[in-house]
Amino acid sequence: MLSIFVLILDMKAIEIWTKDEIAKLYHQPLLELLYQAATVHREFHDPKEVQISKLVSIKTDGCPEDCGYCPQAARYHTDINGNSLMSLKEVVSHAQDAKDMGSSRVCMGAAWRNVKDDNDFDQVLEMVKSVNQMDMEVCCTLGMLSENQAKRLANAGLYAYNHNLDTSEEYYKEVISTRGYEDRLQTIDNARKANLTVCSGGIIGMGESDNDRISMLYTYALMQPQPESVPINALVAVEGTPLEEQTPVPIWDMVRMIATTRIVLKHAAVRLSAGRTQMNDEGQALCFMAGANSIFAGDKLLTTPNPDFNGDLALFDKLGLVPMKAYKKGDKPKVNEAYKEKPVNKEKVKWTRPGHLIERNEEAKAKSKEVRKSFRPRKISSVKKL
């Protein structure tokens, strides 16, 4: 292997990968790749342990963005019931249920383009504090984030911020037009400046090439530090979204992607994320063998189905896996009441809006308009008098 090891100040060796090296890894015969990944996995992690994370959709649907994969984008007509921000009580109750089942992390997701310094954000900060006090790792995924907002989340007790690059910079333009790749990178940087751990990964099965997958991993490999957690999602093709007709990604691609991620991002928790309902137990076992050591559990992801918790625990039993405890890789963040301090002047962060044309996104939007029109009650223009 040609990769260079660089010594940094804390004497932890960082491996610098070239894109070609990652491509060589990725394209190896699958069993050879699997063997290498399983070996790396044993060197850097306890292969028995799998982190169980619970997703809670604290604000569902109605998002202004045009992400081609997402059922929560307001412009596409999908079968989802949206809601306003969840109450603190409900969040705590979801977190307690998840903790009782063995979850050590709660990830709160909002269908927002970016965070605003408003009352909803104040409520999210209270949610973060409450779940932190339950001794669970708290993660949020709320869209783009300024440095100040990241600091307030960290002060409230946030452990991780999830913000996915999703694919390569080149293919991103084929999926989303309402924001740019640089906004995602900037948000990850803002989370880092607040000393949050970073959870960032991608989706496979959106029509991207192997090269796009490799390119995304290369971007993560170059980050210093690399993300502590990397979700690998298989696209859940939801009716009404621009990607509704994508064929399900073969399990072999999922195993290959997870194994390559495991080798390139050795220290990260690799999360076998969306798409598990399309996989059988044997397929998931191969993903664990390839180095996946985290899952989202509970019968719902954000809006789409996920295997039920008891089924997952039964699979863990069969495979000899055990749930990982909270804060295995870091300390529990201390709550600092400074999280309540709103910025005196509302920050004006300029996020991009490229606005280029993505044909399949436009088609899905037009189709949605048609569907909505056909549901609209007809106006009665004249009522015959008897």
List residues binding ligand SF4 (CB under 6 A): 63, 65, 67, 70, 72-73, 111, 113, 143
Tracing tokens 């009665």 back to the chain, one arrives at 380
Closest contact distance (angstroms) between CB of 55 and ligand DTB is 6
Interacting stretch for ligand SAM, rule CB under 6 A, among 68-76, 319-327, 333-341, 344-352? 68-76
- For the residues of 288-302, what is the DSSP string, one character each? HHTTEEEEEESSBSS
* Strand ranges (E), the chain: 4-7, 13-16, 49-59, 105-110, 137-141, 160-162, 197-199, 202-204, 229-234, 269-272, 292-297, 322-323
DSSP characters for 62-96?
Answer: -B----TT-TTBTTS--S----SPPPHHHHHHHHH
Q: In whole angstroms, how close is the CB of 300 to ligand SAM at the nearest point?
A: 13
203 touches ligand SAM (CB under 6 A) = yes
Among ligand DTB, ligand SF4, ligand SAM, none, residue 73 binds (CB under 5-8 Å by kind): ligand SF4
Joined tokens for residue 261: 């991620």
Beta carbons of 224 and 192 less than 8 angstroms apart: no
* CB-nearer residue toward ligand SF4: 72 or 226: 72
Residue type at position 312: D
Q: Considering the rule CB under 6 A, would residue 175 count as an interface residue with ligand DTB?
A: no
User: What does 303 bind: ligand SF4, ligand SAM, ligand DTB, none (CB cut-off 5 to 8 Å by kind)?
Assistant: ligand DTB
Among 36, 78, 273, 294, binds ligand DTB (CB under 6 A): 273
- Cα 271 to Cα 263: distance, rounded to the nearest angstrom: 14
d(CA 358, CA 143): 21
Phi, psi angles (nearest 5°) of residue 168: -75, 165
Identify which of residues 231 and 323 has a Cβ nearer to ligand DTB in the complex: 231
Under the criterion CB under 6 A, does residue 54 sit at the interface with ligand SAM? no
The single residue among 45, 58, 68, 69 that binds ligand SAM, judged by CB under 6 A, is 69
When binding is defined by CB under 6 A, the residue of 36, 141, 187, 361 that contacts ligand DTB is 141
Applying CB under 6 A, the residues found at the interface with ligand SAM are: 69-70, 72, 109, 111-112, 141, 143, 163-164, 166, 203, 233, 235-236, 238, 274, 302
